[in-house]
Every structure is written in C-alpha cells, then in structure tokens.
C-alpha cells in the first residue's frame, strides 16, 4: 500500500498550484491525471488583472496579483524556463467615449498600477485602431502547453504522477483515511476543471460549462509582439502565427470544434486587423465557471475526506496561486473558508 498525505486528481493550473503548496510544506502527494487536455491546456495563456470590457479590476486583484507574481517567478526558476513573460495588452479604443472612460478608470486606486494614463497611437497599418490604444500593464503570457509538459516531467521525476483515468467507484472512505486502489491518503483533492461534472460526489448544479473556441492564424504582415484586445484577443505565438478568440458557449461540455465559432472569430478578427491571414487550426476547451463567478473550494459535510478545488473560470492563471494557499491552510490549519468561495454555498442553488 502506497501512503501519501494527499491524492490530487487533475493537472491543470489548479493542480499545479496545489502541488507547489504541498511541496513547499513537505507534504507527500500523488497526482492522478487522465492526460486529456483541459481548459488550462486549451487556454490562450493570458494573465490579466483587469476586466477590459468595463475597465474594472478583476475580483480581488490586489490580493491575487502579488501572490501570482511570486508564484510564477519561483516556478520559472524551478522548471528552468520562463513560465511568465510580461507582455502588455493593447486595448483598442472603439471611440472617444471609451478613451474618456479609460481616463476615469485609470485614476482609481485599484487600477492605477494596471491602466497606463498615456494613450498610444496606432503605428501598425495592419491593425484597425483609429482611436488608438490603452496600454494594460502587469499583464503576461503563460505558455500552457510548455508549462504542462514541463510540470508533468517534474512530477514523473519525483515519482508523483499516475497517468490514468480516475475511477470513482474505487474510493473507500475510512475513519482516518481514504483509500484509492492501493493508495492511502488523508484526503483526495479533485482539481478536475469542467470535467468534474462526471464526479458523482460533486454537486451537479455547481458548475456551468462554458465552451471556448480559438483559431490559430498565420499572418505574415501583422508583425505583432504584444497582446492585442479588440472584439477578440490576438495572441502572438511566434513565426507569424497568432491565437485568436475566444468564443463563449454556456452549458456546453462538448469538445467538438464548430464552424459557427470559427466564422464568429474570423468575422470579429476582420474588424481588428486588415492584413491577409490564413486559419491553420482550431482549438476547443471548456472553462469551469460558476453561477456567481467565484471559485469552489473545500468539502461537503457528507464526504469530509473528499475536497474540491474548482470553478476558476476564465482567470485560473491569475487566481490559482493564492487560492492554493487558502486551500492549504484550510486543510492543514483548519482556517475557515470565506462564504464567497466555500463550496457549501452551492447547496442553496436550485
């Protein structure tokens, strides 16, 4: 019988951040992952502390931001590659009114460090931006595929990864431990993303599937090295290729690429750039979102040894580092979770 402190199910950014917390505190663990690409793998890898539709700060940004910076700097050193590449976002202004709204927002305390007060003129003839740009600072690109690959290698090196689908029926809950197959642990932590809907221990109304699709284009004349935000994100990937998106489709857990989403993205992209481009591929992921747009942490009273770490939605890269700290102190120090993030609030949802 293999004995560990924790079993972690799932290896997206939630699982990675939790592994880092456990290693930091010398706790033993085993990650079980199916290898199926989830929301982290399929994401654009944009780290952004603001909401650019309304020019507001993301929820709890002042707390999440410093924790994330520290986390990704340490992770870069550990994995020996740049996990977190600081890259500004240029937000295209649609009109003068948006410029005025940006000026007002940039003067607010929670946004002063993120929204530059200087407007930038458009000098790229391939971009449609007659009113120029607002520059968002404190933003970055995180390469999801490279991060996941490097972290899997790390876990395999320390013999802490089991690549297989999780079989819920194999769980045995005992008074002082939980047993899964031949593995004994204090608790099992489910960090499964949107696929948690297949988990029989999870409240079936707690997660809302939010399918997102991207297209990858090749545009030789775009010459863009920063993140561009208009009606879609344009994310540089190198070699004249860009990831563009994304779409939002509620209550959809399918991983099938759709022609409707492709047409929507291409149509919006044509309002952002005016140079020729070729669509070379399309990707699909499902974001784990919640009704109230807040994470789901903790356990339910009937299964105290089964823990959930989910509901990170579209800001997993931003929130995961601090949430993993909060979850760790809940598990190891009995620190209570705030009602805002405690999974038990979902029991009131019809």
In degrees and rounded to multiples of 5, residue 335 shows phi and psi of: -70, 130
Q: Which of 306, 347, 350, 309 lies closest to 326, judged by CA?
A: 309
Task: Give the integer Cα–Cα distance in Å for 68 and 65.
Answer: 5
Number of C-beta neighbours around residue 164 at 10 A = 10
Type and span of the H or E element at 73? helix 61-79
Distances (CA, A) of 154 to 81, 148, 191, 195, 256: 13, 10, 18, 24, 31
Question: Which fold, 2-44+145-204+292-348?
Answer: FAD/NAD(P)-binding domain (3.50.50)
Does domain 208-289 correspond to CATH entry 3.30.9.10? yes
Terminal-to-terminal C-alpha distance of the chain: 41
Whole-structure pTM value = 0.94
Burial class (CB in 10 A: 0-12, 13-18, 19+), 77: exposed
* Residue boundaries of the structural domains of the chain: 2-44+145-204+292-348, 46-142, 208-289
Q: Output phi, psi for 113, to 5 deg.
A: -85, -10
Coil, helix or strand at residue 243? strand
The DSSP string of 175-196 is SS-EEETTEEESEEEE--GGGG
6-9/29-33 β-pairing: parallel
Tens of pLDDT along the chain (350 residues)?
A: 899 999 999 999 999 999 999 999 999 999 999 988 888 988 999 999 999 999 999 999 999 999 999 999 999 999 999 999 999 999 999 999 999 999 999 999 999 999 999 999 999 999 999 999 999 999 999 999 999 999 999 999 999 999 999 999 999 999 899 999 999 999 999 999 999 999 999 998 898 889 999 999 999 999 999 999 999 999 999 999 999 999 998 877 788 899 999 999 999 999 999 999 999 999 999 999 999 999 999 999 999 999 999 999 999 999 999 999 999 999 999 999 999 999 999 988 86
C-alpha to C-alpha distance for 178 and 189, rounded to whole angstroms: 11
CA distance 137 to 144: 21
78: enclosing H helix or E strand: helix 61-79
Q: What's the rounded Cα separation, in Å, for the pair 113 and 260?
A: 38
């Amino acid at each position: 019988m293999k004995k560990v402190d924790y079993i972690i199910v799932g290896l997206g950014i939630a699982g990675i951040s939790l592994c880092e917390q456990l290693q930091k505190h010398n706790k033993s663990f085993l990650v079980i992952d199916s290898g199926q690409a989830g929301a982290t793998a399929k994401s654009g890898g944009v780290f952004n502390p603001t909401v650019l539709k309304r020019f507001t700060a993301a929820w709890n940004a002042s707390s999440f931001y410093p924790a994330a910076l520290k986390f990704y700097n340490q992770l870069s050193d550990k994995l020996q590659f740049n996990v977190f590449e600081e890259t500004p976002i240029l937000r295209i202004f649609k009109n003068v009114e948006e410029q005025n709204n940006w000026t007002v927002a940039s003067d607010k305390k929670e946004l002063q460090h993120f929204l530059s007060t200087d407007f930038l003129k458009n000098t790229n003839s391939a971009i449609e931006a007659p009113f120029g740009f607002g520059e968002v600072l404190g933003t970055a690109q995180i390469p999801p595929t490279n991060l996941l690959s490097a972290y899997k290698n790390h876990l395999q090196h320390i013999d802490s990864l089991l690549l297989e689908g999780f079989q819920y029926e194999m769980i045995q809950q005992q008074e002082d431990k939980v047993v899964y197959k031949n593995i004994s642990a204090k608790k099992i932590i489910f960090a499964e993303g949107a696929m948690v809907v297949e988990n029989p221990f999870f409240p079936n109304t707690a997660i809302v599937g939010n399918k997102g699709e991207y297209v990858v284009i090749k545009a030789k004349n775009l010459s863009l090295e920063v993140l561009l935000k208009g009606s879609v994100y344009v994310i540089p990937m190198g070699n004249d290729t860009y990831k563009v998106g994304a779409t939002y489709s509620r209550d959809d857990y399918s991983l099938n690429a759709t022609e409707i989403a492709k047409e929507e993205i291409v149509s919006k992209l044509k309002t952002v750039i005016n140079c020729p481009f070729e669509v070379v591929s399309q990707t699909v992921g499902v974001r784990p979102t919640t009704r109230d747009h807040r994470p789901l942490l903790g356990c339910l009273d009937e299964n105290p040894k089964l823990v959930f770490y989910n509901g990170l939605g579209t800001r997993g890269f931003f929130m995961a580092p601090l949430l993993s700290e909060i979850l760790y102190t809940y598990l190891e120090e009995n620190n209570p979770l705030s009602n805002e993030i405690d999974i038990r609030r979902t029991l009131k949802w019809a």
